[in-house]
Amino acid sequence: MLKGRQAIVLMVALALLGLAWSWIGDARAQSARNKPKTETYTRPKPREPIKPQIPDVNRFQDDKVFLEHADSLFRPANEYEEFQIVKGTVKFRQGGMWMFCDSAYYYPEKNSMDAFGHVEMRQGDTLFVYADKLYYDGLEKHATLVRGPSRDKVELKNRTVNLKTDSLDYDVMNERGWYTTGGVLQDDVNTLTSIYGEYSPNTKQAKFRDDVKLVNNKDGYKLRTSELDYNTETHIADINTHTVIEGANDTIVTTKGWYDTRTDHAQLTSRSTITHRDSANNVTWLEGDSIIYDKLTRLSRAYMFRDKSKHQQPMVLTDTARKVQLIGGYGEYNDSTRTAMATEYPLLIEYSRPDSLFLRADTILSYIVQEMVWPDSLDNMLSAATRARLARFESLQQIADSMPVVLSLLPYKFQLPGWGEKPKLPEESEEQAPVSERSERSEPSEPSDSVDCSNNSNSTDTLDSLAAVDTVPPAPPGPRLDKLGRDSAFMIPKDFHVAKAIGKARFFNKDAQGVADTMIYVQHDSMMYMLRKPLVWSGERQVMGNRIDLHLNDSTVDWAYLPESGILGEHVDEDFYQQLSGTKMKAFIDNEMIKRLEVEGNVQTIVLPQESDSTVNKLVNAESSYLTIDFVDGKLDHLKMWPEVSGTVTPIGQVKQSQKFLQGFRWLDMLRPQRGWYGDRVRWIDELGEVPEALEQWFREASPIKAAPPKPSEYKGMVRTAKKQGK
């Protein structure tokens, strides 16, 4: 029994001893394996860091993203997808596109990568894109670039184009980049900003949306819109929505067209407006269905749509400073010379007066002239009535003659208004002066062969000395004075409007209407000059002549002058008209009524005088050389004819048809501009641009008025007038 137990203990001891020996052997073997082996030779050290080896394959495949270079490469284990981490000077390529960064996650199987730090995309020598992060899908060839610590903006450069934004998407295949969070595109001409924008380096075409702003780098003008197409090569902006272009002096508002930002030339193809401002901040508006604008020549051309299917509106030019509006089917405006032209039923409206003046013709020209005027401080020092009265006089001598007391004539060397003004010689008597000069006197003078010195009876010796002077005395030194004794050095320049209506011209307002082949309106002196076959109507009166000059005071005509023969007619009853003709005529009008009438040269009249019971029972036909008529409340008060009068008186019942009319007289009321109801208001028929056939026929005919030769009694005075004028 004992021997058996001992045997078992021995066997267990032997087993434990074997196991311990096995453990010791394994430990020694493991220690031997971990102990570095000693080499019998010295290994040379590497000359440069060990880098990842890039396989040698075709690296110009457009569908593959290749890793071209990296300082280090690491492949993480146990990741759900295979990718590589590369660092250092990292370089990728896909086709002709190179990509650089500081580090990247590279997914060879997915053909994509995520790049970080100093990212750069480069295509040839024309396209460069810089960012802090790049997410690139090589299968779609789509890149998303984002700003970050190394780059505060994503920047795309293409020759002269520079685009900056916070985030940029770029389609490598179609060569198109776009941003959606705001960006700036700048070239050598303009700087454009918007919320959304896209740019194609290949086509040079850019598109912008939402809060678009274009600023010209040279002129500084601004274009604002919500949508814009722009070409960085041609620098042309295509407009397709409401757009405002603001310059230093011009503002353009349009919804469609194109604008060459390099030459400042625009073609606007929808209803558009151009606003011009001058140095005095006066505004001129040009509006049209279509406008061609050239800033270089300062010329704008406006059109009305020719297409009947479109809503047509005329061209409108409005000068707010001069209160003039020009309307027509076509118009031009030159901002540098401030000239305008309109055709195709043009209409000019001068609305500075209580009743607007309308002017129509085949063509209307409008421009600005500069005149020297007195400032308000000097012009208003006298009342308007006093200024008007003194302005009628030609010299200080005439002012002295008009005084209610007798004054001695001024000495010979007294300073006269103007430089070297020639004294009025005694043979220039009042009755031989032109009608326009005599008309300024309140009372007409009877003509006489002798000199009228009734106002100068105490100054005969002085008159004789003046008559002996046959040359103009030299101008004495000193200031140049006007009729009121003011020094002309204090005058200032002021702009005034001039309008020329050419071809079948018509003017019309509430008080007077007229037609002529050509009309010229001058705002400075409020004159309307009517040339070739003019006709003027006011109330029941008609004036016709070879030329008519009208003076407009506010909205009314206050005098009319016919220097080249004229006929005045007034309708009385049925086919009876009072008529008056002469070589020169001047009529003064007050409150739409003739106040005074003066005629000289070959005077002929047909008068139908009213009896005490307001009936007319005779016709008076008279002829003379001079005539003056004064009216009170529209009725004849005083008539004077001289020096010789001839005529006949015929009872109404015995008047022949040939006695009713003077030669050349016609009652042409059918040519007169008329008013009519159009819709809810009264409008002038001529305002609508219609030309009556009767008016066309009137201008096709020869002039009915011919200047008659002077009578022998008139010849002497005409010779004296010619001598005075040096003829």
**CATH of residue 88:** 2.60.450.10
For residue 430, the model assigns a pLDDT of 42
Per-residue confidence (pLDDT) for residue 510, from 0 to 100:
80
Domain membership of residue 293 (yes or no) is no
Residue 689's CATH number: 2.60.450
Measure the CA–CA gap between 154 and 92, rounded to whole angstroms: 19
Q: Is residue 687 part of a domain?
A: yes
Helix (H) or strand (E) holding 265: strand 265-268
Q: Pick from 136, 153, 181: which residue ends a domain? A: 181
Task: Give pLDDT, residue 180.
Answer: 95
Domain-terminating residue out of 149, 181, 213:
181
Average pLDDT for runs of 10 along the chain of length 727: 66 72 70 58 52 56 84 79 88 91 91 94 92 94 94 94 96 93 96 96 95 93 96 95 92 95 93 88 91 91 80 88 90 90 91 83 91 74 68 69 59 46 41 41 36 36 36 47 68 86 90 91 88 89 91 80 91 88 90 85 89 84 92 82 90 89 90 79 74 87 65 45 43
Torsion of CA 251, 255, 257, 259, to 10 degrees: 30
Do 552 and 688 lie in one domain? The reply is yes
**221 in a structural domain:** no
Spell out the long-range contacts of 62-66 with Cβ–Cβ below 8 A and sequence spacing 24 or more: 62/94, 62/95, 63/111, 63/138, 63/139, 64/94, 64/111, 64/138, 65/92, 65/93, 65/94, 65/106, 65/108, 65/111, 65/112, 65/113, 65/136, 65/138, 66/92, 66/93, 66/94
553 and 678 inside one domain: yes
Model pLDDT, residue 701:
85
Domain range for 64 is 50-181
Does 5 map to a domain? no
pLDDT value for 429: 40
Q: In this predicted structure, what is the pLDDT of residue 492?
A: 85
Is 228 a domain residue? no
pLDDT of residue 6: 74
Tokens of 376: 């308000």
As for how many domains the chain has, the answer is 3
**Bridge-based pairing state of the strands 265-268 and 243-246:** unpaired
pLDDT of residue 3: 61
Question: Cis before residue 643, ω within 30 degrees of 0?
Answer: yes
- Indicate whether 581 and 432 sit together in one domain: no
pLDDT at 518: 94
Within a domain: residue 162? Answer: yes
Q: What is the pLDDT of residue 417?
A: 47
Amino acid in the structure at residue 494: K
- Is there a contact between 250 and 236 (Cβ–Cβ < 8 Å)? no
What is the chain's percent helix, strand, coil content, to nearest 5?
Answer: 15, 45, 40
Same domain, 562 and 684: yes
Question: Of 181, 209, 229, which residue constitutes the final position of a domain?
Answer: 181
Output the pTM of the full model: 0.70
| pLDDT value of position 146 | 96
From the list 237, 213, 240, 212, the residue with the least C-alpha distance to 226 is 212
- Report how far residue 208's alpha carbon sits from residue 183's, in angstroms, rounded to the nearest whole number: 10
Which tokens in the block code for residue 628? 């003056």
Amino acid type, 565: S
pLDDT at 439: 40
Let me know whether 557 and 674 are in one domain. Answer: yes
> Residue 22: what pLDDT?
72
55 and 164 part of one domain? yes
**544 & 681 share domain:** yes
